[in-house]
Amino acid sequence: MKHLKKFNESAFEGDNLEKIREFEHELNNAFFTPKTEKVPLKSLYKVIIIKTQEPISTELFQSHAAGSKKVYDTNWILLSFRFGKFGISFYTDENAIKDWLSRGYYSNFEDNLIIGYNDINHAEIENILSEYGVVVDEMWGIPL
């Protein structure tokens, strides 16, 4: 499987911002498998929450909202559908994600569908993440 390809490589190595943009592009152009046909990710989930096995440093990323660097190591990635495509955000911890969800229009992700290992979409999303050196610990999805 593809997910073994970069098992021991660090997440988003190299030019991190370029890798993030490549990752977002691949997520937005890949097709995923419901029961009958492959469809874009945006037709399945509003939000995907990912907990990684290894922390990812945000040192080379710049906050779009504040225009300043917020440096921390995190195991929490949020993929959210906005402005017609999925975007990636990093959060310091689980509580920060829960806060974002509660201030928006989503409920606590633990109350929603958990993407399990027997769900084909889990494996397909995990394969894309592994191409960028991200090893998934847990993953949840808020369906449409």
Total-model pTM: 0.68
Q: Is the pLDDT of residue 20 over 90?
A: no
Report the amino acid identity of residue 101. L
Q: pLDDT tens-digit profile of 88-139? A: 888 889 988 888 888 876 767 765 556 655 567 788 888 899 988 889 888 8
Q: Is the pLDDT of residue 13 over 70?
A: no
pLDDT-derived band at 6, boundaries 50, 70, 90: very low
Distance CA 44, CA 81 (A): 10
pLDDT-derived band at 29, boundaries 50, 70, 90: confident
Number of H helices, E strands in the chain: 3, 6
The closest of 128, 135, 116 to 22, measured between CA atoms, is 128
| 112 close to 141: Cβ distance less than 8 angstroms | yes
The closest of 8, 93, 110 to 51, measured between CA atoms, is 93
